[in-house]
Chains A and B, each alone.
Chain A
Amino acid sequence: MTATSNFGGERRPVGFVPLAWRNLLANKPRLLRSSGGIGFAVLLMLMQLGFERAFFNASLEVIRLLDGDIFLQRASKYRFATKDPFPRRDLEAARTVPGVVNAWPLYADWHHVFWQNPTNDKNFLVRIFAFDPDQPVLPLPKLEGSPKDLSDLDTGVVDRRARRFLGMDPQPSAAELNGSKIKIIGSFALGPDFENDGTVVIGDRTFAKLLPNSRGGPPDIELGVVRLTPGSDPTTVQQAITAAVPSDIAVLTKAQLLELERKFQADVSSAGPIFVMGTLVGFIVGLLISYQIIYTDVAEQQPQYATMKAMGYRTRYLVQVVLEQAVLSALAGWVPASLVAILLFRIVGEVALLPLHMTLELALVSLLLTVGMCLISAMLAVRRVISTDPAEVF
């Protein structure tokens, strides 16, 4: 059937892309204009998407770094960055559960420790993390210095990427935390998030001295980091730990811990909707610009399209050419925009100390949006080709 229907006079298109490609290149100034127009719309989308991801990633960064399989925290803890610790004995209960290799504490504080900038003696609130230096449950990115040295009392490592006004970069040799002298023995590169300007990591003994437990004894634990024996089933062990600890302790996998934080950020912060709206505007503006470009082009080429129709090319083929050209225009806008975005992300990321990165996901999402927006415009503009009547040309 198909063979016979193809028989009568219909020409198969020879090349695949060349016609669309030539159309695109025919008018160089217009190409420049179109990739500029589409490119800026893409850049707007990329920036908004990039900011949105940076916002969420900054708050998730520390959780991602944690070196463990199962985590224990107070069930009433509604987000990661809030102090709501639990007693040490609850973590010890988890340690005895079969399948658990070990369970170590992470101590933290977000609102009670002030760092004195050694260059100007000004005090600023910082985020504090602490652990047993022999059990570094929070591996620090690009750490220079040995975490073992944190076992000495009154030592700490600081964040090179903390906000500049804290004076942590270059790393000072000593500083003050809540008025007591701390020797700085190294630094790491973590970066601030939207609430914390900088981070100091200290050993558990220093933490106990800095923020003593009001009830006496060792400080309460912010997060219990549990490692499982290889091959054990996390769900089974998770259930066993839940049964072994009091009901006011939540036992979570890393995915659940991340999800809790993501959900909190999405519910409470207005960042999500703000950036989604920016992306949407970029998309619609891009749609308008690409429609304008493709429509003009189709209109100008109308006699040529009519001629091709008269020669026997099917409407389908002509539509295909227009769509291909739309995809090419999309690429012509997307490629430079992505390159500019990579550069902008680097600059803004360094200045604002935000984790702004051009990830594969971001590249793919923006590429899909760009191609989608150009294809929609092409489909709207192509009606003109369909209506092309060979007779009108003459």
Chain B
Amino acid sequence: MNFALAWRILTHDKGRTALAVAGVFLAIVLVFVQLGFFIAVPRGGMLLYDRIGFDLLVASTAYEYQVQPGEFPVSQLDRAKTAPEVALAAPLYFGSAKWRSGEDGKAPDVFVIGLNPQAQIFTSEDLNRQLAILDQADTALVDSATRPMFGPLTAGRVVEIDGDKLKIGGDYVLGTGFMGLGVILISAKNFGRLFPFRNLDQVNLGLIQLKPGVDPDRAAASLRKLLGTDVQIFTHPKLEAHETAYWTTRTSVGLLFGSGLIVSFIVGVMVVYQILATQVSRQLPQFATLKAVGYGDTFLSGTVITMALLIVLAGFFPALAAALGIYAVIRDETLLPVEMSGARIAAVFAATLAMAAASALLSMGSLRRADPADLFG
């Protein structure tokens, strides 16, 4: 009966209901988008880690986040290799250089990753196969997401980086994340040539792959004992928590999209409330009549809540579809890994229900004014 009445009221005035649904639709889309960025920004910071296969990450105690990792002696990695749990310990070198072959004579900064081409560290088999080319002198692989201002990324092109000439050996698909506008991979040997002042005995990060069946937490604990307190060891979940905390609390990202999230939610509440309150006041004589013939306040409130639910549900599903489309556009435009997940859908759905509840509660006030005596006033 609740449902039937709510349905009748909503379908009686289709234009108005359509407006309400459109408003809720937009508010939910905005909630999805803000939440998308809120989560995508830390994910963008995890990009490289997400595409490398490792169980533990060894980093300096000065490690801040991926792009500011600090350094530690390579001997620590050699020591780690002696542990029975460890299958592979590979160093990563990070550097920044001027790409002097940009468009319009500009020299954008390029993020340089130095690695051992023999260690197949990436999750992408294609990329692992490509690494062999890095054994050639002064040859680099370029991330395909490197910005157009770097000029063409065609294989065979020789570019000037800092003072050196490097040949582009090909491009790979990984993503630049927050590493910079352009990223290249080179061998540790070529890295040493490109950065003559860098001591290759000092590495930025150490990737550890464990032997099959070894528990990462246990291995981390025994490596901590082995390597001492000069370095820190992250398991995957620890690393993710660390990077997420960095991006959401250290930068303004959390506040920016967090506040956007809250305001979008309130706007959604306002839209639904607006429609409900108007409907209630328009149907006030009818509600009063219902009261007069014996329906209780609970029934009337139930009707308003049902109306609110119907409106938000009608807005939610198209909003979800639209958000999927918008995420795809944002992925292409910003190169951030904005992806829909079950948890996110559930969270926004819960927020949507809360939107309905809040707006229904707000409109109850007008409902209480439904007084049968007024009918004949």
Contact = CB atoms under 8 A, between A and B. Distances in A.
Contact of A75 (B62, B105, B108, B181): B105
A47 B26 contact: no
Interface string A67-104: 00000001111100010100000000000000000000
B64 interface: yes
Given A78-B149, A281-B29, A285-B271, A47 B263 contact: yes
Contact of B106 (A77, A123, A270): A77
Interface in B205-262: 250-252, 255-256, 259-260
B166 interface: no
Interface in B24-46: 26-27, 29-30, 33-34, 37
A285 B23 contact: yes
B275 interface: yes
Interface in A254-293: 267-268, 270, 273-274, 277-278, 281-282, 284-285, 288-289, 291-293
A214 B274 CA distance: 67
B259 A47 contact: yes
Given A40-B270, A41-B267, A78-B107, A351 B275 contact: no
A33 B263 contact: no
B118 to A, nearest CB: 30
A44 B100 contact: no
A270 B181 CA distance: 12
A124 interface: yes
B184 interface: no
A291 B255 CA distance: 32
A266 to B, nearest CB: 13
B26 A274 contact: no
B83 interface: no
A288 B334 contact: no
Given A77-B107, A270-B334, 14 more contacts: A30-B281, A41-B267, A44-B30, A78-B107, A165-B250, A270-B333, A274-B334, A282-B267, A285-B26, A295-B16, A348-B255, A348-B259, A352-B252, A354-B252
B246 to A, nearest CB: 11
B263 A288 contact: no
A281 B267 CA distance: 10
Contact of B107 (A84, A111, A273, A348): A84
B131 interface: no
A276 B197 CA distance: 45
B135 interface: no
B59 to A, nearest CB: 14
B267 A296 contact: no
20 contacts: A29-B366, A40-B263, A44-B30, A44-B264, A47-B263, A76-B107, A78-B102, A268-B147, A270-B333, A270-B334, A273-B333, A274-B37, A277-B33, A278-B30, A285-B26, A288-B19, A289-B270, A344-B259, A351-B255, A354-B252
Interface residues of B, number: 53
Contacts of B34: 278
Nearest to B257: A274
B247 to A, nearest CB: 12
B278 interface: yes
Nearest to B27: A285
A221 interface: no
A270 B253 CA distance: 13
Contacts of B64: 124-125
B286 interface: no
B277 interface: yes
Contacts of A292: 16, 19-20, 274-275, 278
A351 B251 CA distance: 11
B250 A47 contact: no
A76 B99 CA distance: 10
B297 interface: no
Contacts of B309: none
A281 B263 CA distance: 12
Q: Which 6 A-B pairs have the closest CB atoms?
A: A270-B334, A76-B107, A78-B106, A352-B252, A288-B23, A352-B255
A34 B281 CA distance: 14
A354 B259 CA distance: 14
A82 B149 CA distance: 15
Contact of A281 (B30, B252, B270): B30
A36 interface: yes
Contacts of B255: 348, 351-352
A336 interface: no
A37 B109 contact: no
Contacts of B33: 274, 277-278
A37 B30 contact: no
Contacts of A354: 252
Contacts of A284: 26
B144 interface: no
Given A51-B256, A125-B68, A289 B263 contact: no
A25 to B, nearest CB: 17
Contacts of B107: 74, 76-78, 84
A268 B109 CA distance: 13
